Amino acid sequence: MFKNLPRHQFGNLQSKMFPAYFSMVGVCCAVSVASFGYLHPWKTSSTTERYQLGFLLSSFAFNLTNLFVFTPMTIEMMKQRHKVERENNIGEEVGWSKNVEVAKSNPKLAAMNKKFGMIHGLSSLANIMSFGSLAIHSWYLAGKIDL
């Protein structure tokens, strides 16, 4: 998409896709937490099973943080940047942006880019942490398979 859509269209598409993605992953995490918690009650579960529940809960928490904190912040910042970019006649190009060049002479856009990068980076980190927690749980489940 990045290589084929104008930047503003790409950003608008992403702003629709990511809330749906984080919602779907959140529902799946909630079902996994509930299922695992039901099948392995805390009082009778082993240390390993308690860790697994912790990994599932952390994945759920990271995902909810993305859905309810970082995604709305990222979308709002993107909309503000799009407005400033339109004022500077940029953003309709496909692929790499002229944004960086314009930001050198536009301190408002430079500040927006910095804030957007920070929020986007935190969102990516939360997504990686969620994925990592699920990967550890998948490793645990794979170890339970007897072929």
Q: Which two tokens stand for residue 110?
A: 């430079």
**12-23 pLDDT tens trace:** 999 999 999 999
For residue 21, the model assigns a pLDDT of 96
Task: Note whether 55 and 130 are within 8 A (CB).
Answer: no
Domain boundaries defined on the chain: 7-143
| Average predicted confidence (pLDDT) for the chain | 93
Closest CA to 133 of 61, 66, 43, 67: 61
Using CA atoms, how far residue 40 sits from 33, 53, 69, 88, in Å, is 10, 9, 31, 58
Is the whole model's pTM more than 0.85, yes or no? yes
In one-letter notation, the amino acid at residue 34 is: A
Cα gap 31→94, rounded to integer Å: 40
pLDDT below 50 — which residues of the chain? none
For residue 134, the model assigns a pLDDT of 96
Dihedral sign for Cα atoms in the order 128, 131, 137, 140:
negative
For residue 72, the model assigns a pLDDT of 96
